[in-house]
């Protein structure tokens, strides 16, 4: 579940379950996580209290009372779940924290690509641009940040060093809102288009946050263009197309998203 809105929602839910609680036992249940979480490191979590949970882009940091930081990244399919300690575990549990209130928080991750590791500080995370939903960002800043970027805007939006938190879905969604072609050259976007792009990013992320807020699923459509190949554009009715950029799918409207 991993783009900025989904990770932010996961962090908020995790805080309720975890902040102020003491860890009784930590377990790594898949070899992909045992590489970073050795038995000694897992033991070092026992007895620790979680002071806070923070987010930077799609990265999560669990702040422990010992001063240690546990870094979690969901990658493609990670999510937090929890259940009563001793109850049957949900499917795909890769990492588990048994807490002092008889609940167990688990990292569920079908593809087992998520990562959990100790870090010393935010400096140990990969270089990240400002938060993609930072309300203080300006079009001038974005224009300067795009200057010198080679390649198509869709591909550039996925680079976390530009903006932290935009993934493959919201890149397509933002460009649809901005009515910009995903193939447009990032470096040569005219100022008015950069302004539209910033607004489009905000709209896409705001929609994502709103969607996360409702735990009611089943509503008409989740995304405006993503995964809608062949379906009519919600703005002009033309058939949505799919193309591949940098080995990732892009969805766009060929009529109302212009270069």
The C-alpha atoms of residue 23 and residue 7 are separated, in whole angstroms, by 22
- Selected binder of DNA within 13, 234, 248, 255 (CB under 7 A): 248
**Closest to DNA by CB, 23 or 153:** 153
Question: What interhelical angle do 191-213 and 168-178 show, nearest 10?
Answer: 130
Residue with smaller CB distance to DNA, 22 or 209: 209
Q: Does 3 bind DNA (CB under 7 A)?
A: yes
Distance CA 178, CA 258 (A): 10
In the complex, the smallest distance separating the C-beta of residue 259 from DNA, rounded to whole angstroms, is 15
- 21 vs 203, which CB is nearer to DNA? 203
Is the Cα dihedral 137, 142, 144, 146 positive or negative?
positive
Instruction: Lay out the site mask for DNA across 133-172 (x = CB under 7 A, - = otherwise).
Output: -----------------xxx--x--x-x------xxx---
Buried b (16+ CB within 10 A) or exposed e, 14-27: beebbeebebbebb
Scanning residues 34 to 73, which ones bind DNA (CB under 7 A)?
Answer: 35, 57-58, 73
CB closer to DNA out of 40 and 244: 244
Rounded-to-integer distance, Cα 212 and Cα 214, Å: 5
Enumerate residues 69-88 that contact DNA by CB under 7 A.
Answer: 73, 75-76
Binding residues among 117-136 for DNA as defined by CB under 7 A: 126
- Residue 119 CA to residue 138 CA, distance in Å, equals 32
Give the CA-trace dihedral at 92, 45, 116, 4, to 10 degrees: 90
Contact residues for DNA (CB under 7 A)?
1-3, 5-6, 30-32, 35, 57-58, 73, 75-76, 91-92, 110-113, 126, 150-152, 155, 158, 160, 167-169, 245-249
């Amino acid at each position: 579940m991993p783009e900025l809105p989904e990770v932010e929602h996961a962090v908020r839910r995790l805080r309720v379950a975890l902040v102020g609680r003491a860890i009784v036992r930590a377990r790594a249940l898949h070899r992909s996580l045992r590489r970073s979480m050795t038995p000694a490191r897992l033991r070092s979590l026992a007895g620790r209290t979680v002071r806070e949970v923070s987010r930077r882009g799609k990265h999560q940091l669990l702040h422990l009372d010992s001063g240690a930081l546990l870094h979690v990244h969901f990658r493609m399919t990670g999510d937090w779940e929890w259940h009563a300690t001793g109850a049957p575990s949900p499917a795909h549990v890769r990492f588990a924290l048994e807490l002092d209130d008889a609940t167990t928080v688990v990292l569920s991750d079908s593809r087992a690509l998520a990562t959990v590791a100790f870090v010393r500080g935010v400096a140990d995370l990969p270089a990240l641009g400002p938060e993609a939903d930072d309300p203080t960002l300006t079009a001038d800043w974005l224009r300067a940040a795009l200057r010198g970027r080679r390649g198509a805007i869709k591909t550039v939006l996925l680079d976390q060093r530009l903006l932290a938190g935009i993934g493959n879905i919201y890149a397509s969604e933002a460009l649809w809102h901005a009515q910009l072609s995903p193939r447009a050259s990032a470096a040569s976007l005219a100022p008015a288009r950069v302004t539209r792009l910033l607004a489009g990013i905000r709209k896409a992320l705001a929609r994502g946050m709103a969607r996360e807020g409702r735990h009611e699923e089943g509503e008409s459509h989740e995304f405006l263009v993503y995964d809608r190949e062949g379906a009519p554009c919600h703005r002009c009715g033309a058939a949505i197309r799919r193309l591949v950029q940098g080995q990732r799918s892009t969805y766009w409207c060929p009529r109302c998203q212009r270069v």
